[in-house]
Structures are given as C-alpha cells and as structure tokens.
Structure 1
Amino acid sequence: MTLFEIIILAIVQGITEFLPISSSAHLILPAELLGWVSQGLAFDVAVHVGSLLAVIIYFRHDISNMVQAWFRHGFSSRQTQDSKVAWFVAIGTIPAVIAGFMFKDWIELYARSALVIACTTIVFGLLLWYADRAARHRKTLTALSIKDTIIIGLAQAMALIPGTSRSGITMTAALMLGFDRESAARFSFLLSIPVILGAGTLATIELIASGQAVDWLALLYGAGFSFVSAYLCIYLFLSFISRIGMLPFVLYRLALGSVLLWFVFA
C-alpha cells in the first residue's frame, strides 16, 4: 500500500468503526471498486488497535468506575449501576463471540462481496430509520435490563455480516427498546471494547503464526490516524446525535448502497 492509501484507510476505519455505517464495508470497498491492494492482516490489527485505544481513552472514567464497581460489588447482592453495566457489557458480548466462532469462516467465504454489502447497507439503514422514528427515546442506561442486554447482544452478533454495521445494529436494537439516542450510542460504544479487543487479539495471533513480514512504519501510521479519527468521531457523534438523529446516516447508507448496486449490475 502507498502512504496515501494507508492514511485514507486508517481514517475511514476510525470514523466508520463507531458511526452506524459499517467499517467492514468501507475497508472492503477500496479493493472491490478501486482496485487497491488488500490492506492485509497486519494493517487490520493496527487500525483496530487505534480504534480500541480511542474508545478506551474516551470512556476511561466510565471504564474505571465499572471495573472498580465490578470487583467490589459484582458478585454481591448490592449491585451498583456501574457494576450492572459492567455485567451487561460482558453478557452482551457473548452472542457475538459464539457467532464469530460458528460462522466466521462461512462469512469470510461467502458474504464479503459488494452485492452483500449493498443489500445489508440498504436494508439495515432502513431498519435504523424505522427504529429512530418509532422509538420513544425515554430510557437511559439506568433502565438497562438483562433482557435488553441479550437483545442488543444478539443484534451485535448480526454485525458479522459485512455492511450491517456493529454500531448501527446495536443502536437500532437499543432504540427499538425505547432508549434515547445518546444512551443507545454510549452502550454501543462500550460494547465495542471487548469485541474489538477480541478480534484484534485473534488477528494478532494469526499474524504471528503466519510469519509474514511486517511494515512497522505503515502500521504506526495506520494506528495513529485510526486513533485520531476514531476519537474525534466518538466525541462529535455523542455531542450531536441527540439533535441531528439518525437520518443523515440513513440517507448516506441508502446512497452508498445504491451506488454499490450500480457498480455490481452495471
């Protein structure tokens, strides 16, 4: 990859990891549509490390409170709000882990195509629009229950299909359950931490086992630009989502999906 491609892909990864528009779709598309060389496993690891650091640093106080509360009250009858959320993040991650082990190879073989991305981009974009329009937007994270968590976790597992968007489908589920936009986004971002960490760890193990040469400078650029763009994305998204709603992202998904369909069938 050229330096230009590295920077563009890293910025795209950082932005789309947390917006409801699918990061996997945007990282696959340059190779599908522009003929760019596949970024490879090492680069995937680097940009995910950048995104992971961004979300951990942004939510560092929440994470610290959750971890401390979990160790103090996690196994007692005197659960606090922070210890509950810590449990909910762990429980909500389980469906994605199970689905990943069961269907990862099948998805890699059959689902990573421009046609699949186009269809899921449009379908789940419309679902996000419906959820945002129909939702009551009343519940906050203090009202989160184990039932809500399981439903959102099952939705997150569907994000293994490229074009679905992990953040998009989890926010859609949370909105349908009556949560306000900011609470839906915050829980989605917290849920991303173990998922990104797990995916990055597995990719790192695979990378080490492969023994392939690594361009460390390229990885440094990838991680750095991914971190900056992801951090800014989280900050701006949480600052404005209550006011702007999901419609801009829905329209983007519909436009992107339509362009992809044109490329596929042209």
Structure 2
Amino acid sequence: MPLFHLFLLAIIQGLTEFLPVSSSGHLILLPALTSLDDQGLVIDVAVHIGTLFAVCWYFRQDVGLAARGVPELMRGRIESRGGFLALCLVIATIPVMILGLVFKLLGVMEMLRSVAVIGWMMIIFGIVLYLTDRMGPQTRKSEGWTLKHALYLGLWQAIALIPGTSRSGIVISGARALGYGRHDAAKLSMLMSIPTIIASGALMGIDVVRIADWQATRDGAIAAFISFFAAWAALVFMMKLLRSVSFTPYVIYRLILGSILLVIAYS
C-alpha cells in the first residue's frame, strides 16, 4: 500500500477514534468517496492498535489501577477501587461483544457499510449528543461510576456498531444523560474503549493472521505508529477543550458532514 494512503488512514483513525464523530464511518467513507482502495482488515486492526496504545498511555494511571484489580476480579473477590474499576469495564464491554458477535455471524456489518447509513447516523446521533449535553446536569464524577451505570453505558456503546454512530459519542451521550460532567463523561468513554478495542481486535485476529504477509505486516506497523501519535494529539486536544467548551462544535461537524453524505447518497 502506498505510504500516502497509509498515512491518510492512520491520521483519520487516530484523530477520529476518540472524538465523537465516528472513526469507523470516516474509514468506510474514504474508499467510498475516493478512488482509493479499501484498506482491508489488517490495516483496520493496525490503526486500532495504535489508538489503543495512545489511550492506554494517556490514562495510564487509571489503566494501571484497573490492571492491578484484575487478579481480584479473577478470584471473584473485589477488595479495592482497582478491582471495582476492572469489574465495571468488563460489564460495560459485554453488550458490545455479544451484539458484535451476532452482527459478524449474520453478516450485518457489511449491510450497514453504506454512505446513506453513515449520513443518517451522523445526523441522528449528533442531535442526541447535543440534547444530552445541553439537558444533562454535571453533578456526577467518573470516580462515582457504578455497576448499574457501567451496564447502562455498555448498552449505549453497543449501538455504535452501526457505522456513523461514533462509539465515543454515544457513550458520552449516555454519560451526560446520567449527569456526568463533560470531562468525566469523556474519560469514561475513553476507558471503556480499551477493552472494546481489545475485544474487537481479538475477534478479527484469526482472520488477520490468516491473510497477513510480510508486506501487510510492515504496512500495519507503519499505520499503527502514525495512528498512535494522531490519537494522542486528539485526546490531549479534546480533554483540554472540554474544560471550557461544550460538545457543540462536534455536533455541528456531524450535522454538516451527515447532510453532505445524504445529498451524495440520494443524488
């Protein structure tokens, strides 16, 4: 794959994975709206690995806390904040894993990879993000996350399997509806992305091993490297911006892009 194509894919994935604008939707649109070839499964997994390392590094204290709680989780005896955080993340990941497996077995994902679907989801869930952000109070902190809220946000996250929805955007919407502050809602969304990316990568792992070769492996490594830095920059930008600005700029972007896509799809 040409270096420019790899660079473009990695930048798009890195910048959009954690912003509430749908990274999967942008990756699908790139070959759909240009003459570029579809990047394939290996590159898809690679750029997600890059963003995974970026979010783990950015939230390394929380990730370390959850990692230290995993042994407690395996013993079935939660005794610390780290163990409880690990349990919440597992519960929040279960719905998307189940629905993702069902979609894969039924071939639903291929049916949803269309410009029209992405356009509608951009608009619909952009409006949802705006309403929940405007109407939701900002009284809860991420440290007060509960098992009930973890399951609730996990169900919201499962909706993001529809391209154009945005995994981070839908979780942030759910968290804002529950009353979490903007910064805390974004933090929960980012932490929930870690086991979700790992689970989706594992689900596609067998196919990747089967089709990968030296050239694909090299291209994947380059894409992962670039997407790491792009995702890191996007995280730093958004988390700092949220201390003083709402999610409205992302909503406007979604509405404009969604409208353009619908014009293209139905013209």
Per the alignment, residue 198 of structure 2 pairs with 197
Match of 1:242, SS state, is coil
Q: Do the aligned residues in 1 keep the contact of 2:56 with 2:194 (CA within 8 Å)? A: yes
Cα distance, 1:144 vs structure 2 = 1.6
Matched positions, count: 265
Cα distance, 1:256 vs structure 2 = 0.5
1:141 aligns with 2:142: yes
Per the alignment, residue 102 of structure 1 pairs with 102
Unaligned runs of 5+ in 2: none
Per the alignment, residue 38 of structure 1 pairs with 38
Cα distance, 1:213 vs structure 2 = 6.1
Per the alignment, residue 219 of structure 1 pairs with 220
Percent pairwise identity: 38
Cα distance, 1:197 vs structure 2 = 1.1
Match of 1:123, SS state, is helix
1:49 aligns with 2:49: yes
Once the two structures are superposed, residues 200-259 of structure 1 have per-residue CA deviations (whole angstroms, 9 ceiling, x without a partner) of 222232122236663333222211110000111112211111311100000000011011
Q: Do the aligned residues in 2 keep the contact of 1:185 with 1:238 (CA within 8 Å)? A: yes
Counterpart AA for 1:152: L
Match of 1:138, SS state, is coil
Match of 1:179, SS state, is coil
Per the alignment, residue 229 of structure 1 pairs with 230
TM-score, length basis structure 1: 0.94
Distance 1:67 1:31 in 2: 38
Counterpart AA for 1:180: G
Unaligned runs of 5+ in 1: none
Per the alignment, residue 8 of structure 2 pairs with 8
Counterpart AA for 1:24: S
Distance 2:48 2:212 in 1: 20
Distance 1:165 1:46 in 2: 19
Cα distance, 1:66 vs structure 2 = 2.0
Per the alignment, residue 158 of structure 1 pairs with 159
Per the alignment, residue 207 of structure 2 pairs with 206
Distance 1:3 1:209 in 2: 23
1:130 aligns with 2:117: no
Counterpart AA for 1:155: W
Provide closer, same or farther for how the CA distance between residues 129 and 61 of structure 1 changes in structure 2, counting only shifts above 3 A. same
Counterpart AA for 2:47: V
Distance 2:207 2:147 in 1: 34
Q: CA RMSD in A?
A: 1.7
Q: Do the aligned residues in 2 keep the contact of 1:42 with 1:214 (CA within 8 Å)? A: no
More deviation, 10-19/101-110: 101-110
TM-score, length basis structure 2: 0.94
Cα distance, 1:262 vs structure 2 = 1.3
Counterpart AA for 2:196: V
Once the two structures are superposed, residues 12-59 of structure 1 have per-residue CA deviations (whole angstroms, 9 ceiling, x without a partner) of 101111010000000011111112100011111211111111111112
Per the alignment, residue 58 of structure 1 pairs with 58
